[in-house]
Structure 1
Amino acid sequence: MEYGFLSLLPALVTIVVAFATRKVTWALFLGVVVGSFVVAPSFTAFPKELLHYVLLCFSNFERNMIILFILAVGALLELLRFSGAFEKFAEYIIHYLDKPKKTRVSTFFISLFLFFDDYASILISATSMRSVAAKQRIPKVYLTYLIDNTATIASAAVVSTWAAYEGSLMVDAGKPFGLEISSTEYLVKMIPYNLFIYLLLFFAFISAFSGKWLGKRMKSGAQSRIEEMQNINPKVSHKTFIYPIIMLVILAIVGIIVAGIIALKIKGGGNFTPIDIIGEAPTIEVLLGATLATIIYSSTILFKDKIINIKSFFSSSKSGIMHMLPTALIILWATGLTEVSATLNTGGYIVSLLEPFITASMIPSIVFLMALLISVATGFCWSSMAITMPIAFGMAMGLGGGGEMVYIVSGAVIGGSIAGDLLIPYSDITILGASSMGVSSINHVKSHFKQVMTVIVVSFVGFWALAMSVPATVVLLLSAAILYGIHVIWAKPI
């Protein structure tokens, strides 16, 4: 059944209610309710349809694992905060990061170094730098922007938890056109065309370096700053924080590699590439296990040094979980929005609206916009990639004539999908970054909107230039120069 404009209603209701009320959980729930009403063949069938999508929210295994991971992250962060480990680490490292500029740039490179997974990058960067940033009086919404935007490196890294998924989408999209190319070859040939990600990282870096951005100006007062922590237990040392974080990083990396190898061996075969290994690993389950193991290790140290007792352990863990509960509910209802959007074929309708305006030279730019809108509508960039990639390949092989156009549109699909994620308060990346830093996802999106939108507009034009056979290096350098000029002229202090 074709729903036409009605297929856009769940996303539109969600966006309007979220920004009008600042209550993302209720906005998503209402989006699911509206979608269920549209899908229902009759008014009496509406309750049954609504129940169906509510149950789907609880039956998505991967999203449930993400929720458990989020709750575990909350418990770990609150345990470290309660012990005073954050503050002690800040006191220790402040001697090296003694200026806001050093702190901002260090945060950028920490996130960049953790390229293998976006969740790990956000978690570890936020945990490591939030107290140091408090000492430097860096606004927390700004640090959230820096961490979230830099974590997108995972989508462009050839070896990451994203790579295998992206590669598999390209392989599947190419098969109907006789393109017998491996996922590794697709990913390597796409490297020059990850334009949006490169420009996003560049804009974040010059912002971190200069201390200026196009985002919302910060008001003075405690509400716009990272809260400083007090009453540190004298028994706490910087090692109370450093050792658990080192353990978390090691367990995450080693766990992903080992789990990936085991999964591949079970499937059979002998020669595995790094992309195969990381792609086959159950990433969220590994990160959840690493986080739980780190909680146990950290608690053992804190009990041993008599920094906490049983009562404070449970109270702090409960507090951390409760703090993340709204985030978990957002992810839960976002699953329902994704499911109802799939039933309504929201992505297909958006494509049908844009297709009449497509010419060969505009294919990558339109694909970029298409992926962005579908990501906004569904609330999940991976679903946008899955919907858009086959369509993009069809355009590239038809109007675009194949060749390099295939790799350009691949970069446009991935970039556009992530761009959409950064513009909405109910995407998993936005939610995790905001909750890890203790800010609302609405404020996070509103604050960095101008910064992200500037990169989106420049990237849109850049993809058009790529379709006109302008060399990728030239497009990247010119786009970066334009962004730098915009930053110099219009950027304001954070």
Structure 2
Amino acid sequence: MEQVIRVLTTIRPKRSLYLSVMVTLATIGFFWSLSATHETGESWGAKALFPTLFVLAIAIIYRAPFESLLTGVIAGLIMIDNSNVVSSLSDSLSTVMGNETIIWIVLVCGLMGGLIVLLEKSGCLGNFSDWLKGKITSRRQSLLTTFFIGLVVFIDDYLNCLAVSSSVKKVTDHYKVSREKLAYIIDSTAAPMCILVPVSTWAVFFSGLLEENGLAADGAGLSVYISAIPFMVYGWVALVLVFLVALGVVGNFGPMKKAEARALSGQPLPDDYDGDNMEAAPSNDRKQTSNFVGMLNFILPMIILIAATVYYDIDLLRGVIVTLAITVAMYYLQGLLTLEEQFKGIFEGFKVMLYPLSTVIAGFMLKSVNDQLGMTQYLVEVVSPFMTAELMPALVFLVMAAVVFGTASSWGSFIIAIPIVVPIALSVDANMALVIGALLSASSFGSHACFFSDSTVLAAQGAGCSPMSHALTQLPYTAIGAVVSFSIFIVLGYSL
């Protein structure tokens, strides 16, 4: 019997390998044939969707967002030019890595990771967690606390995803909350909250985009943005839904139910998570401080981070640079950490963020491929004949939510979409504030729900679970939010 088992265990991996090779070759052949039969200059039409659909399928099957994105990028590049894939891949990577937004994201996430490592190594994060444990007396309170802290940290979704998770993780672990549920609560108060507050990186970006596309006069972009906030339906729905989940009114179902059952049995971390979870051990030889001073050493950098970001016109990069400089000086003067320990900690933070950052970079590469294939234009053109003044907000939300969900480009897709959507909205005399609200709702939903969006990846990284575990457990809740939002947009379209 043992010999039979040994034979079977050697055969199964070989069969799996052969199957993988055959599927890979068939996929390459499929995309190669699409390229070979395509006429230069002709629209790709529905075929433009194939790389993104391929990415989603691979991500669900293998639960590996970066790998699925990379294969989707290669598949798309084969479609575009099957004779020059290696050069195209190299050029795409070089272009993305030279992108100003990517450089900003790499620096912000790396430095934020470094700041969190310093807070942990100094023991100050532990002091704050111990203080929270003394104030929180139940599982429900731990979830509600996470929700309300997320509402306060509204400046940027990156800051929200990384800072909030670090401050409450040990408390939710104490009350046996799954890391997936923690990630869901954090993610639901990230992009959905950021679009509803005019003092955020999202408001700054989109108000500028409104001015560039003639929807607002120079300097009036923020005023137009604020007028659309009541109609950013998905943001409101997502916040209400996550509050009800934290309160216990909306229960656990689907993959979240299994994750919570596992956590209640004493295992908050999911089985498929094997990466660094940004939980650096405190330095053994650090100077001991009182709980009050330690808690102050945690809270003060967070206040400085928010204040400096606001001071520098909602620029999180400048905010985190100022915060790191002050924090390093504070900890050195108090004898908590040496300068060498602190700079090593900052580099550790960059190292911890490498996988999330690689996923974001691959997502930008997929967006570049989709732009070349004309995916966004195709989807908008397909639904354009059905766009009336009444239905347009709902259809804009539906289409752009699908685009952002499939591409993870919660900002970049709208640079292409707005010049297409705005003329249609003007031609049918649609309510422009409602259309802008639908656009921002779609962006928020896509950032929230996409398996490989920056918000999803960072929320998972901060909470300490894999991006796919987070994405799959929160998917039923984001789907509920999307359906409710779509229905509300239909009602608003006919009533306003």
TM-score (normalised: structure 2) = 0.80
- d(CA) in 2 for partners of 1:314, 1:160: 29
3-state SS of 1:95 partner: helix
- d(CA) in 2 for partners of 1:230, 1:339: 40
Q: Please tell me whether the aligned partners of residues 252 and 286 of structure 1 are also in contact (alpha carbons under 8 angstroms).
A: no
- The match for 1:446 is 472
3-state SS of 2:84 partner: helix
> Structure 1 residue 107 and structure 2 residue 139: aligned?
no
- d(CA) in 1 for partners of 2:292, 2:452: 35
- d(CA) in 1 for partners of 2:116, 2:205: 29
CA shift, 1:10, in A, is: 2.4
- The match for 1:274 is none
Match of 1:201 among 221, 224, 239: 239
Alignment of 1:63-462 (within 5 A): 63-151=102-190, 152-174=192-214, 182-210=220-248, 212-214=251-253, 216-217=256-257, 218=259, 219-220=261-262, 221=265, 223-225=267-269, 235=288, 237-239=290-292, 242-260=295-313, 278=314, 283-290=315-322, 292-293=324-325, 296-297=328-329, 299-300=331-332, 304-305=335-336, 317=346, 319-399=348-428, 401-402=429-430, 405-462=431-488
Instruction: Return closer, same or farther for 1:224/1:257 CA change in 2, 3 Å cut-off.
Output: closer
Q: Please tell me whether the aligned partners of residues 122 and 282 of structure 2 are also in contact (alpha carbons under 8 angstroms).
A: no
Instruction: Return closer, same or farther for 1:63/1:131 CA change in 2, 3 Å cut-off.
Output: same
Q: Please tell me whether the aligned partners of residues 394 and 490 of structure 2 are also in contact (alpha carbons under 8 angstroms).
A: yes
Shifted more, 407-416 versus 208-217: the winner is 208-217
Match of 2:491 among 465, 468, 471: 465
Shifted more, 339-348 versus 242-251: the winner is 242-251
Shifted more, 309-318 versus 137-146: the winner is 309-318
Q: Please tell me whether the aligned partners of residues 86 and 131 of structure 1 are also in contact (alpha carbons under 8 angstroms).
A: no
- d(CA) in 1 for partners of 2:455, 2:280: 26
- d(CA) in 2 for partners of 1:21, 1:291: 39
- d(CA) in 2 for partners of 1:149, 1:39: 36
- The match for 1:7 is 48
Instruction: Return closer, same or farther for 1:411/1:184 CA change in 2, 3 Å cut-off.
Output: same
Q: Please tell me whether the aligned partners of residues 51 and 73 of structure 2 are also in contact (alpha carbons under 8 angstroms).
A: yes
Equivalent position amino acid for 2:471 in 1:
V
Shifted more, 246-255 versus 203-212: the winner is 246-255
Per-residue deviation, residues 9-48 of structure 1 (Å, max 9, x unmatched): 22122212122112211111112211221222xx332222
Per-residue deviation, residues 188-237 of structure 1 (Å, max 9, x unmatched): 32122111111110111111112734452123255434999999969254
- d(CA) in 1 for partners of 2:226, 2:109: 32
- The match for 1:484 is none
- d(CA) in 1 for partners of 2:447, 2:307: 29
- d(CA) in 1 for partners of 2:281, 2:203: 42
- d(CA) in 1 for partners of 2:292, 2:368: 45
Q: Please tell me whether the aligned partners of residues 36 and 53 of structure 1 are also in contact (alpha carbons under 8 angstroms).
A: no
CA shift, 1:450, in A, is: 0.6
CA shift, 1:172, in A, is: 3.4
- The match for 2:58 is 17
Q: Please tell me whether the aligned partners of residues 147 and 246 of structure 2 are also in contact (alpha carbons under 8 angstroms).
A: yes
Instruction: Return closer, same or farther for 1:468/1:334 CA change in 2, 3 Å cut-off.
Output: same
Shifted more, 250-259 versus 460-469: the winner is 250-259
- d(CA) in 2 for partners of 1:3, 1:230: 52
Per-residue deviation, residues 92-134 of structure 1 (Å, max 9, x unmatched): 2222112122221121111111222222222221122112212
Q: Please tell me whether the aligned partners of residues 379 and 421 of structure 1 are also in contact (alpha carbons under 8 angstroms).
A: yes
Shifted more, 3-12 versus 421-430: the winner is 3-12
Shifted more, 349-358 versus 431-440: the winner is 349-358
Q: Please tell me whether the aligned partners of residues 301 and 327 of structure 2 are also in contact (alpha carbons under 8 angstroms).
A: no
Equivalent position amino acid for 1:184 in 2:
L
- d(CA) in 2 for partners of 1:169, 1:311: 43
3-state SS of 1:123 partner: helix
Q: Please tell me whether the aligned partners of residues 121 and 280 of structure 2 are also in contact (alpha carbons under 8 angstroms).
A: no
Equivalent position amino acid for 1:143 in 2:
L
Q: Please tell me whether the aligned partners of residues 78 and 320 of structure 1 are also in contact (alpha carbons under 8 angstroms).
A: yes
- d(CA) in 2 for partners of 1:378, 1:433: 18
Shifted more, 223-232 versus 7-16: the winner is 223-232
3-state SS of 1:453 partner: helix
3-state SS of 1:407 partner: helix
Instruction: Return closer, same or farther for 1:298/1:35 CA change in 2, 3 Å cut-off.
Output: farther
TM-score (normalised: structure 1) = 0.81
- The match for 1:476 is none
Shifted more, 239-248 versus 55-64: the winner is 239-248
CA shift, 1:458, in A, is: 0.7
Equivalent position amino acid for 1:242 in 2:
M
- d(CA) in 2 for partners of 1:168, 1:314: 36
Equivalent position amino acid for 1:425 in 2:
F
- The match for 1:271 is none
> Number of matched residues?
439
Shifted more, 443-452 versus 206-215: the winner is 206-215
Per-residue deviation, residues 319-372 of structure 1 (Å, max 9, x unmatched): 543332111211221221122222222110111222233333211111001111
Per-residue deviation, residues 56-76 of structure 1 (Å, max 9, x unmatched): 221112212212222223333
Name stretches of at least 5 consecutive residues in structure 2 with no aligned partner: 1-40, 271-276
Q: Please tell me whether the aligned partners of residues 84 and 229 of structure 1 are also in contact (alpha carbons under 8 angstroms).
A: no
3-state SS of 1:381 partner: coil
